[in-house]
Structure 1
Amino acid sequence: MQYPEHLAHFASLFKKRDIAHFMSAPWLVSSFREPVWRYNFGFKNDQNLDWRVHLCDGSLLTDPQHVKLLNSLQCWLIASTENAAGPGFTNSWAAQSASFRRTLTVIDHILQSAEALELVEHGLSALTYDVMCDIIEQIGTSSYVAVSTYDWNNRLTDYCKSLLQTTSPESIDKCLEEYPTLADITPLQLEENELEIPLELISRVRAALYINKMYHSNPNGGLNVNSIRVSALLYKDTLAGKKRLKPLHSILGFIWRRDRFIREFDGVPVTNGNPDRMTRRDLVLYRTAFTFLQKISALDFKLPSKEDLREIATFKVTGTAMGRFKNVPTPIIFKAIKDGIELHFEHGPQLLKSYLNIAKYSLKHMVNITGIPDETTISLLEPSIAELGVQYLGISTRSSGRDPGTELKESKEIYFSKLRGNAGLLELIGVYYGAIQLLVGATMAKRGSELRDLDPTNCLSEDKSWLIARIAKSSRGQKGRRARNARPIDPLAAEMVQTLIDFQKDLIEIGFIDQHLPLFSSPGIIGTSSLTSCDVYLYYKNIDLFCDYFEVERDSLGRRYYIRQHQLRRFFALVFLHCGYGASAGILQWMFGHTDPAHIWNYITEELPGKELRNTLSQALSERIATGGATHYTDVIDLIESKFGTRNVSVMDAEKLAEYFDFLMETDQMTMEPVFLESDTGLRVDILVVVRKQDEMG
């Protein structure tokens, strides 16, 4: 057919495409007919996709009788990477790769439900509208498809219990005797535990995993489950699930070093216990994976009906309410920052200088620092540190002249009394590191992993006005490299960071350590003759020491607020939102280095994802309302009264209000955004709230 010249470029839109059109793609390196595809979306090396998976009847998907089912899945996958606006692959490598991964996830979901769907008999026509809706809703039950699609937490739990049953009890006993740290469970591991494995079995499960070589080195320190190796067993009949990394569970990990650190109190939970659900935006993209089937509807395959495909394209995804991090009341964080700053000015550099003196002595006399008698250790302290009352290298350190294990027999009350009495130098240094981590974390809004990875050789710009960090979620293809960015850093925070940089430099110069370690690598409290490389355990151990040393407030149940970096990221934005109510532009200038509200908000939205921003707005508004301010939010007060039966919001729990506001925003009944107001009296940041009544929601 000939088209008019001015319509010729639309010809491809009207041309009926046969299967040949869907047998090639720019990313498909191998032949379409190969049972194992090689593909590449700009990666360093080609990747493999093995179609030889078993179906519910025991046959292989690549067997001759399933050729049409196989081809329908293959053509669907290729169609999903075409530009949604029309034929062809004009979209970027990144966009094609993301769509490829989502469609593979959906296909894996179908393969795992093949028997219930009767996939062998009906092919993709088994995907009725209701089935597709169910799949979308199931995928949305978690922000991790490893949990929602592959049921990773439950499958891993069952695997661990099974491995425990099939591993010799004698070999497990021997392993635990040889590696006693397998039995250590830290407060952080208890806090993060999501697995239904009895705590009394954790050490034996770890031993069974270790004996069966199911561990590998964890970037955060120590060992943890090799999720790829386990996935190869659990998901062998999936296309992508068997090769994808899965979330690590810290409760199954361990570190080789033995640490006697404990918290003084139970911690306030850092989340509300609700599962973290997939956002509506991401769930819409998974819905789109089904709509790509329309592109191959003219081919001779068993496919969903055209009517069902049209309906699924308009299916309203819910993006159900997400879990949220528990609030740390703003005044608690402000006080913690104040205490940390005062510690820095009064004793910080002298604490590190005292340790440097001890390191020099140990090298000169060729003795481990734990081999130095306590009286000699005290004589090496800087005068101001000795005056604090330091008695030992460390409270839990078996230094020369002390009875091994004595401190382990003492009560928690005695340990923390000695901590606050400044008895141990190593504990005081840990508290100081915690102080710096809190200040930098609160003023930079970086992810915890980004701060733990800071390189002391290049994390500060030459003029000390920029913090330079790797971006945690910025992998370039699969080459293992991450982008870096520079953000303004407050001069005081830069000064504290420089103190740690100089400390490592001095230790290298005297030969105590032989190379730079991540910035927040600190002396271990058990007294090793080196710094302990920073990992998630050490990072939060020092913050927990800080919280116990300065007796950070506790909640009504007596649990202490042990502050976490994701909570500090929210605090970072809260400072901005509070500056129009009970705060000042001076705080903004200290936190951000300038007071242009539009620039600051752009900075915040770059650093915090949408979910955290929404949670932060909820917390800011709830704190304003609960403290008796912002009485002009009359429509919001009406909603509160309809929910809680009172307008006396000043006596309400600010956190419960924040959770309610989250729900209202998630269900589109309310929107919030900051507004920037300038007046003769200076800067004001207010929160604009729009309430939509039910009859306005359609």
Structure 2
Amino acid sequence: MSALTEDELWSLHQASINNGDFRVLKLATNNVTGIYDYEEQKPYWLLSEFPSNTWHIEIKDNSKTFTRTIDWSAVSFADNSLLTDQKHIPLLNAFKYWITATDNPRENGGKFKKGVSVNFSIQLITALINAILIHGESIQLAKLHFSALSEDFLMSLMVRLGSLGTLNGLYDYNNKVRETLLKHISIISDNEAEEFKEKYPFCARTLLPEEMPLGLSVTQRVKACCWLNSIGYYQGEVKSKKSKTGISIRNHHQGNSAILHNFIYDGQIIPVNNKGISTFEELKLNEKVEDKEFKSIPCTEDITGEMSETLIENYISALKLLNTVNGRDDTSQYFPTIMTSITCSRIREHVKLKKKGRFKTLPPQLVFNLIKNCYEFIQEYQESIFSSVQSVLAEGLTKSTGKNSNKDFFQHKSPKHDPNIPSTERGAWTNTGALLLICDKLQNLGVDRLSIPGTEEDVFEKRRNNKSLFDLYNVLIGSIQTLTGVIMAKRIDELITLKPHHNLSPNIDPTSEKGKKTEYELVASLKKSGSGGEHGKNSSIARPIPRSFALIIWKLEQFNQGLIKANLTKSSLSLFNNIDPVKLKIGQVNVRSYNSHLNAVCDYFELPVVIFGNDEHRRYYVRQHQLRRFFAMVFFWSKGFDGLDTLRWMLGHTDLEHLYRYITESETGAVLNGIKASYIIDAMDKNKLDNMQELVEKLAERYGVNNANISLSTITDATDDYEDTSEYKTIPHIEELKKQEKLESQVLELLEDGIISLEPEFFTIEQDGQKVNDFSLTLQINEIG
């Protein structure tokens, strides 16, 4: 079989069809793909036996491991019977086969899914199972099982999902929380509520309407918080290696969504990992200590509740995997045609779906100035910061392991001790000896301590005044992350998983004689690529990187290698790493700490702020999704900022058309359309494109408004005064941004529907005796009248 040629395989395929006998073709297919070896009751990621009442799942995908426990016995019905009772086994088996179908190649186009996709599919199916259980009484699920499933029932769930999102559409979470609170606050007396408010006055503060999804009055809110406190909502169970029971209790004044979620749904659903459920602003007892100076300007479109078309399609695909249970002897059955009409187009008849969850475009000049600041900071301080940090950590290790050291050197004397305040012995060293290890250049800059607690007064101003070594390290790592994100245009998962060293190809010092003559590439794992299945692996790709930036990466790798050699790490390292200021060790970043480094950069260089409602100031905090978009955006904005030829040179492309092909291959059509929409909106104000009047007419026709009511002005003038002074002369109001975003979204719809298009036209001109590649952008109206 393994020696079959392509022609022989096609002959076998045709013969199988002619004879109606596919046994040999099945063997040939399985020899190459292994899809018929898949065991429905024992996929590689299911550690338990199929009939078990508790499933333990472990899915590995490259360096990530996803673990999950499904406790089938946790579900009970109105008659107090359990899902695992004998009479419900057909329903239970249907749920189980539904989940194992997620990785069955015979149900997924002959492909083995990657681990991350399997985990995502199980998450979607679990949510759908729980929705069926929550709303099951309306179809007598406990009595009739799946025979009661109907098209109307499933369509109703999907419409709710499309309009309200997973949490409220499938779980009806906000309504259930409100009902639960109103039911239980009756046991809280006025005196109890008053005492509670005196202790936690923050819970009675004035809130904006959008911060009150539960719709509670101040009195109801105080009583609700008082009752929640009585059930442990403000204390969280946290795993602790030091605790004999493995559990320790800590204050959780922001609220613990897991406790509330479990209280509401106990017995009704399969218990789920509810870490992604945010807490309610209404139910907080104090202000959260943030790692950033201001609240963030939202970086995604603010369309409350609405689901993206892509996510709805994922849910529909997950729902239709339920078809695999029909025809089995040991499962509950339903009428097979009930899902025929469950389609995205049908759902769109009832609810408006977002085309795609889209990240907002950053003002281009903001990013250009950020790149400049980050690059200059790295050039000036990279070596000083790395050498000082390594010296401090090495001396700290010696102090904690030396013969005369106190074993409690890195431990706190009392469990009540603030972890940000050092013990006496440690404080003496960090306040004196440790500072002697910081190089003169940084001390002259202002460094006079290792770190500054987030609770300290004027902490961000002190960090900008360079008072803390570790905070300067965070700015340095954040700056390198920013430049990597812009220049290499990678996904955040791809950046987080970069190795601590040997990311450059070739792996030689860029300052060496050979290195000065070498063209460098950055090697990374490409997410959403490679093979799936038990031994799935992402593909590795190499992309050109400017030599000057290759040197920055090289120095970072040398620093990492020094840390590893000196045993100064608390875990395995990645390229970008995070300092633990308490343990004085370094560990690899995750998404949270990666973003924390970006926050440090945005606060240090004081990125612009915008005024929100109630005169609240919020800052631009960049995220990798936006920097990745910026890479492609440079092409379209380059006509205004002259950045295109520099980008071409940095990436090693020979000409502009080559660069454009690379951009369009690197970015999806959806991303490019978003960038084009942003460019068109700015071009309206600057009159940089022809056919503007035709665009106005098309917008008026599309949205049923008068031409005169469409304003072509934007907040460009407000954002353009972000000049060399690195300050906004005018702070725009959020309403101005929202108007621009709305118009941008409308233009985006025209682009996605093909009604308009924006494409470059390349040409060559002679300038000062030299041939120069250039281009112009053309707005085309493809459907007029």
Give me the TM-score of the superposition, normalised by structure 1: 0.68
Give, in whole Å, the separation in 2 of the partners of 1:494 and 1:663.
41
Aligned length: 621
Is 1:555 matched up with 2:615? Answer: no
Q: CA deviation at 1:380?
A: 4.8
Q: CA deviation at 1:554?
A: 2.0
Match of 2:674 among 605, 615, 628: 615
Q: 1:612 to 1:38 in 2, by over 3 A?
A: farther
Give, in whole Å, the separation in 2 of the partners of 1:285 and 1:317.
13
Residues 148-179 of structure 1, C-alpha deviations (whole Å, 9 max, x = no match): 4345788799999999999xxxxxxxxxxxxx
Q: Is the 8 A contact 2:435 2:448 kept in 1?
A: yes
Is 1:587 matched up with 2:646? Answer: yes
Residues 343-399 of structure 1, C-alpha deviations (whole Å, 9 max, x = no match): 1222322232333454566677868886447676666544543443x25134638xx
Give, in whole Å, the separation in 1 of the partners of 2:562 and 2:261.
44
Q: 1:90 to 1:555 in 2, by over 3 A?
A: closer
Alignment of 1:4-19 (within 5 A): 9=20
> Which moves more between the two structures, 555-564 or 273-282?
273-282
Equivalent residue number for residue 455 of structure 1? 499
Is 1:149 matched up with 2:166? Answer: no
Equivalent residue number for residue 92 of structure 1? 111
SS across alignment from 1:338: helix
Residues 88-136 of structure 1, C-alpha deviations (whole Å, 9 max, x = no match): 9872233997988866764553333221123456665644443332222
Equivalent position amino acid for 1:273 in 2: D
Residues 470-511 of structure 1, C-alpha deviations (whole Å, 9 max, x = no match): 456679446797665443333333222222222233344556
Alignment of 1:83-232 (within 5 A): 91-94=110-113, 106-119=128-141, 124=146, 126-141=148-163, 145=166, 148-150=169-171, 205=233, 207-210=235-238
SS across alignment from 1:343: helix
Q: Is the 8 A contact 1:140 1:148 kept in 2?
A: yes
Give, in whole Å, the separation in 1 of the partners of 2:20 and 2:690.
60
Gaps of 5+ in 1: 13-23, 167-192, 218-223, 253-258, 398-406
SS across alignment from 1:649: coil
Aligned CA-pair RMSD = 5.8
Equivalent residue number for residue 740 of structure 2? 657
Q: Is the 8 A contact 1:352 1:503 kept in 2?
A: yes
Give, in whole Å, the separation in 2 of the partners of 1:80 and 1:443.
37
Equivalent residue number for residue 763 of structure 2? 679
Q: Is the 8 A contact 2:632 2:663 kept in 1?
A: yes
Equivalent position amino acid for 2:312 in 1: L
Equivalent position amino acid for 1:118 in 2: Q
Give, in whole Å, the separation in 1 of the partners of 2:565 and 2:92.
63
Is 1:267 matched up with 2:331? Answer: no
Equivalent residue number for residue 178 of structure 1? none
SS across alignment from 1:94: coil
Give, in whole Å, the separation in 2 of the partners of 1:541 and 1:78.
37
Q: CA deviation at 1:29?
A: 3.3
SS across alignment from 1:563: coil
Q: 1:330 to 1:58 in 2, by over 3 A?
A: same
Alignment of 1:72-87 (within 5 A): none
Give, in whole Å, the separation in 1 of the partners of 2:435 and 2:103.
67
SS across alignment from 2:296: coil
Q: 1:584 to 1:127 in 2, by over 3 A?
A: same
Q: 1:383 to 1:46 in 2, by over 3 A?
A: closer
Give, in whole Å, the separation in 1 of the partners of 2:379 and 2:467.
20
Q: 1:598 to 1:103 in 2, by over 3 A?
A: farther
Q: 1:304 to 1:79 in 2, by over 3 A?
A: farther
SS across alignment from 1:427: helix
Q: CA deviation at 1:61?
A: 6.0
SS across alignment from 1:568: helix
Give, in whole Å, the separation in 1 of the partners of 2:85 and 2:468.
69
Q: CA deviation at 1:679?
A: 0.5
Give, in whole Å, the separation in 1 of the partners of 2:290 and 2:124.
43
Q: CA deviation at 1:341?
A: 1.0
Q: 1:456 to 1:339 in 2, by over 3 A?
A: same
Q: CA deviation at 1:331?
A: 0.8
Equivalent residue number for residue 320 of structure 1? 353
Match of 1:645 among 662, 684, 709: 709
Q: CA deviation at 1:418?
A: 3.9
Q: Is the 8 A contact 1:276 1:323 kept in 2?
A: no
Q: Is the 8 A contact 2:608 2:619 kept in 1?
A: yes
Q: CA deviation at 1:339?
A: 0.8
Equivalent residue number for residue 171 of structure 1? none
SS across alignment from 2:233: helix
Q: Percent identity?
A: 23
SS across alignment from 1:586: helix
Give, in whole Å, the separation in 1 of the partners of 2:378 and 2:653.
24
Equivalent residue number for residue 341 of structure 1? 375
Match of 2:364 among 318, 323, 330: 330
Q: CA deviation at 1:337?
A: 0.8
Q: 1:371 to 1:473 in 2, by over 3 A?
A: farther
> Which moves more between the two structures, 657-666 or 34-43?
34-43
Give, in whole Å, the separation in 2 of the partners of 1:298 and 1:461.
54
Residues 224-265 of structure 1, C-alpha deviations (whole Å, 9 max, x = no match): 989899879947665xx546786365999xxxxxx9985444
Is 1:629 matched up with 2:669? Answer: no
Give, in whole Å, the separation in 1 of the partners of 2:394 and 2:93.
70
Give, in whole Å, the separation in 1 of the partners of 2:469 and 2:18.
80
Q: CA deviation at 1:320?
A: 0.6
Equivalent residue number for residue 548 of structure 2? 492
Match of 1:430 among 474, 477, 483: 474
Is 1:543 matched up with 2:598? Answer: yes
Residues 389-425 of structure 1, C-alpha deviations (whole Å, 9 max, x = no match): x25134638xxxxxxxxx966x42xx44443433333
Q: CA deviation at 1:672?
A: 6.3
Match of 2:573 among 479, 497, 517: 517
Q: 1:655 to 1:601 in 2, by over 3 A?
A: farther
SS across alignment from 2:346: coil
Equivalent position amino acid for 2:645 in 1: G
Q: CA deviation at 1:435?
A: 1.6
